[in-house]
Amino acid sequence: MSLLDDVAQLEKEALREIEGADSLESLNELQIKFLGRKGCLTAILKTLGKLPVEERKAAGARANQIRRTLEECFQRATEKFTVKKDKTFFDPTLPGTGYRPGVVHIINRVMGEICHTFYGMGFEIARGPHVETDYYNFEALNFPPDHPARDMQDTFFVEGDRLLRTHTTPVQPRELEKRQPPVKIITPGKTFRNEEISTRAHVSFHQVDGFLVDEGVTMGDLKGALVAFCRAFFGDELKLKFRPSFFPFTEPSAEVDISCFLCRGKGCQLCKYSGWLEILGCGMIHPNVLENCGYDSEKYTGYAFGMGVERVAMLKYEINDIRLFFNNNLRFLRQFA
């Protein structure tokens, strides 16, 4: 048998075996067997030297041609077992990347929940400007010029008589001026104070104020509304305590503590072992405020209250640093999804 016959025989055999290979590993083994340094084709080529020059040329050319054919076959067979990673390839069985939907910021959500609770009790929602005048932020609310109570609220002044509102209470005279009793409103929004930023204080935070003005409104009505709100918001069985306090725009004024909803008044870290949590300020609207807004304070009375949204959220979710609300750490914010 001539060398050419050997080569032809080898080609047939190799093609058949490549065709039958059932894995990448067996293909690799075949490649070594036929084309490797110690493989069949190399073995045949080594005998070329023994041939006469004429025959050697033809056989060499034929052997090289077979090498190329086999290499192409291996290449094609290999592709059968490997996934091509080109742009058009789509594997519908892979899990999706999953877009996380955004969530409402926890402060907006708590503010919404507070409003929702009062809305259910018949309060309308009203808003006012962040850049406020001295008149609505202080004067109309019975803070006379140079009154020391102005120092309770470190103010960012803008220019002239303009300032960043230090509370949402100025919406009260703004709305009272425009309306006729009964007026029953809550006022959610952003507020600003020139304070040292700490775990408990920030320069920008949120409040919800509420007020009702009508004939015959009493402190009993205020208490009823606040008990209903606190129980709806923090838990059915909690108790409220009204402590005397001072605000220029209410008389009498009070601060409300709720019995700690975490330990039920027994004493824990949240309530600093007092059993009580300070939650809001309130009182009967000062007659001067009513008169400033054009109401006859002999005929009409009203109550008002105001609370800090961050404070309420920190208590409800046991958050110990107000700055967490504002530094936009998604791991923090997503907890409230």
> Interface with ligand DAH by CB under 6 A: which residues?
167, 169, 209, 247, 250, 281-283, 304-306
**Please, are residues 160 and 198 in contact by the beta-carbon 8 Å criterion?**
no
The rounded Cα 310 to chain-centroid distance in angstroms is: 15
Q: Whose Cβ is closer to ligand DAH: residue 250's or residue 259's?
A: 250
Q: Whose Cβ is closer to ligand DAH: residue 129's or residue 265's?
A: 129
Closest approach of ligand DAH to the CB of residue 250, in Å: 4
Closest approach of ligand DAH to the CB of residue 115, in Å: 15
Closest approach of ligand DAH to the CB of residue 176, in Å: 12
Q: Whose Cβ is closer to ligand DAH: residue 77's or residue 289's?
A: 289
Q: How many residues does this entry show for the chain?
A: 337
Closest approach of ligand DAH to the CB of residue 306, in Å: 2
Question: Nearest residue to ligand DAH, using CB?
Answer: 306
Q: Whose Cβ is closer to ligand DAH: residue 313's or residue 333's?
A: 313
Closest by Cα among 179, 201, 180, 184 to 192: 201
Q: Whose Cβ is closer to ligand DAH: residue 74's or residue 300's?
A: 300
**Please, are residues 260 and 268 in contact by the beta-carbon 8 Å criterion?**
yes
Closest approach of ligand DAH to the CB of residue 312, in Å: 13
Distances (CA, A) of 283 to 174, 236, 252: 19, 23, 6
Distances (CA, A) of 171 to 118, 141, 186, 187: 16, 10, 9, 7
Closest approach of ligand DAH to the CB of residue 117, in Å: 16
Tell me the DSSP string of 98-162.
Answer: -PPPP---HHHHHHHHHHHHHHTTT-EE----SEEEHHHHTGGGT--TT-GGGGGS---B-STTE
- 76 contacts: CB under 8 Å, gap ≥ 6: none
Q: Whose Cβ is closer to ligand DAH: residue 113's or residue 251's?
A: 251
Q: Whose Cβ is closer to ligand DAH: residue 70's or residue 176's?
A: 176
> Which residue in this structure is represented by tokens 């530094």?
327
Closest approach of ligand DAH to the CB of residue 303, in Å: 8
Q: Dig out the tokens for 303 from the structure.
A: 């109550």
